[in-house]
């Protein structure tokens, strides 16, 4: 039966008021309006099948997630169980493949501090001998390192004290753009300083130390930590 034209128009207007077109098209859960800052993220999870909500057409955005619910999310996302098709199976992160990331070729994000430690212990062979250690960063520095940006924190054995290196051997830190080296312990070390690497200036730096008293069987010993903060 056809409705009279004048009756059909009010019914259409009533439908639009009861179900706004923008709301129907823009989100899938009644408790996740467009104003929710995580609306797009939640919508993407729903579109990909990672979540179907908490029932009743809602997502329950403020509810806690149990470990078993987390397991379900991760399984749907990564296809961990047999027969599952992965929702996400990225072969690159920020344009880098897994080999580049594992090889330390990924850039260190600005403001991020990376740290490391090392130990050199060996019988000194002769007087005035020195040792050079090449240290690799876990990623690429955004700006090439220079000898003036690789220094020891103030220490009796350091020949290039840098007062801006204010951390400790147990909690190393560094200002943006610098490598700070901290002495944990040393024996028969009469001087130590930092250098940039002769090659790959965005991946390596050098630690150089020497002795003026190398009479065997004295040991040349240096234990250190370091920190680098990407500018």
| pLDDT tens-place values along the chain, 231 residues long | 444 444 343 433 333 333 343 333 346 888 888 888 888 888 878 877 778 888 888 888 888 888 888 887 777 776 666 666 665 555 555 555 556 555 556 788 899 999 999 998 876 556 667 788 999 998 889 999 998 999 999 998 888 889 999 999 999 999 999 999 999 988 888 888 898 888 888 989 999 988 776 555 567 888 999 999 999
Residue 88 placed within a domain: no
| pLDDT the model gives residue 204 | 93
Residue 43 placed within a domain: yes
Number of domains into which the chain is organized = 2
| pLDDT the model gives residue 76 | 73
Rounded to whole angstroms, what are the CA distances from 179 to 37, 176, 186, 202?
38, 9, 20, 12
Domain boundary among 59, 78, 97: 78
Q: Which of 84, 76, 110, 105 is nearest to 93 (CA)?
A: 105
Residue 41 placed within a domain: yes
- The first and second tokens of residue 77, run together, are 């996302």
DSSP class of 96? B
Decide the pairing of beta strands 179-187 and 150-152. parallel
The answer to whether residues 43 and 126 belong to one domain is: no
The pTM for the full model equals 0.57
The answer to whether residues 129 and 30 belong to one domain is: no
Residue 214 structural domain: 113-229
Query: pLDDT tens for residues 26-59?
Result: 468 888 888 888 888 888 788 777 788 888 888 8
């Amino acid at each position: 039966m056809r409705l009279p034209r004048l009756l059909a128009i009010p019914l259409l207007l009533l439908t639009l008021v009861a179900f706004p077109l923008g709301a129907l098209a823009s989100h899938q859960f009644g408790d996740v309006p467009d104003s929710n800052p995580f609306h797009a993220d939640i919508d993407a999870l729903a579109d990909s099948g990672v979540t179907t909500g908490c029932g009743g057409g809602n997502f329950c955005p403020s509810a806690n997630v149990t470990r078993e619910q987390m397991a379900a999310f991760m399984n749907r996302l990564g296809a961990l169980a047999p027969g599952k098709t992965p929702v996400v199976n990225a072969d690159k992160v920020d344009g880098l493949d897994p080999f580049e990331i594992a090889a330390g070729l990924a850039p260190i994000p600005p403001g991020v501090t990376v740290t490391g430690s090392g130990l050199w212990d060996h019988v000194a062979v002769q007087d005035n001998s020195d040792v050079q250690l090449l240290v690799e960063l876990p990623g690429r520095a955004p700006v090439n390192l220079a000898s003036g940006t690789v220094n020891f924190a103030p220490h009796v054995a350091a020949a290039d004290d840098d007062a801006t290196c204010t951390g400790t051997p147990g909690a190393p830190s560094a200002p943006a753009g610098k490598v700070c080296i901290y002495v944990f312990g040393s024996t028969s070390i009469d001087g130590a300083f930092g250098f940039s690497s002769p090659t790959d200036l965005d991946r390596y730096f050098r630690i150089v130390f020497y002795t003026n008293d190398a009479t065997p069987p004295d040991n040349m010993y240096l234990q250190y930590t370091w920190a680098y903060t990407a500018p």
